[in-house]
């Protein structure tokens, strides 16, 4: 890990594994969903662009954004299979953070020109950030018996997965509501 945040997460994982040998740890990144008042990246983009405020977004950070209901479904899949150990779970698409912001803006009919491309160094964030933090998911896919889906299809009036079978499963489990 390159930061204290990363080191503390790793220490917590190790402490959980020591205390409970059959524990389940799921690593993820850039979790997003529609959450009014929330501070995830999607909400930052929508809130700022809707208000006409610019938002500085790094062009040199790459990750695979994770749609929160898809993460919830993945956790249920692993729990149903009584999985243990460390798993990675993230969206299938490895995206540059700025490009992800532009996708969000387009999905919500907002002007993406308010997303100001900057480098991570120009962001002057208090903690170092990895430039490539995408997660590989073959262990999850093998145990869950399914592939990780591509980024969720975003629409202004609602959210649902691009895979209808996963959408139906999520509705039955109460993760999503029918639109």
pLDDT confidence of residue 159: 45
CA–CA separation, 31 and 51 (whole Å): 23
The whole-number pLDDT of residue 173 equals 55
Q: What pLDDT is recorded for position 107?
A: 82
Taking each helix axis from N to C end, the angle separating 68-80 and 164-173, rounded to the nearest 10 degrees, works out to 70
* CB contact burial 107-119 (16+ within 10 A = b; e otherwise): bbebebebbebee
151 pLDDT higher than 90: no
What does the mean pLDDT of the chain come to? 82
Instruction: Give me the pLDDT at residue 145, please.
Output: 87
Reference 68, options 116, 16, 26, 108; nearest CA is 26
Q: Which residues 6+ apart lie within 8 Å of 38 measured at CB?
A: none
More confidently predicted of 135 and 162: 135
**What pLDDT does residue 168 have?**
54
Q: How many CA atoms lie within 13 A of 109 on its CB side?
A: 3
**pLDDT class for 132, splitting at 50, 70, 90?**
confident
Percent of the chain with pLDDT over 90: 45
Over residues 25-73, the pLDDT tens digits come to: 999 989 988 888 889 999 999 999 999 999 999 999 999 899 888 898 8
**Which pLDDT score is estimated for 153?**
44
**Closest to 50 measured CA to CA, from 5, 111, 91:** 111
């Amino acid at each position: 890990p390159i930061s204290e945040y990363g080191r503390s997460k790793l220490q917590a994982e190790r402490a959980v594994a020591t205390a409970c040998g059959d524990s389940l740890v799921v690593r993820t990144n850039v979790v997003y969903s529609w959450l009014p008042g929330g501070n995830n990246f999607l909400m930052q983009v929508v809130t700022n662009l809707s208000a006409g405020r610019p938002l500085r977004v790094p062009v040199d950070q790459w990750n695979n954004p994770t749609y929160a209901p898809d993460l919830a479904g993945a956790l249920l899949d692993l729990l149903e299979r009584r999985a243990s150990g460390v798993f990675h779970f993230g969206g299938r698409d490895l995206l540059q953070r700025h490009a992800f912001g532009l996708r969000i803006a387009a999905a919500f009919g907002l002007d993406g020109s308010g997303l100001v491309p900057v480098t991570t160094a120009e962001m002057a964030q208090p903690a170092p950030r990895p430039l490539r933090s995408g997660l590989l998911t073959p262990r999850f896919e093998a145990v869950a018996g399914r592939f990780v889906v591509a980024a969720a299809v975003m629409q202004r009036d609602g959210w649902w997965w691009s895979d209808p079978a996963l959408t139906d499963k999520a509705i039955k489990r109460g993760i999503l509501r029918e639109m």
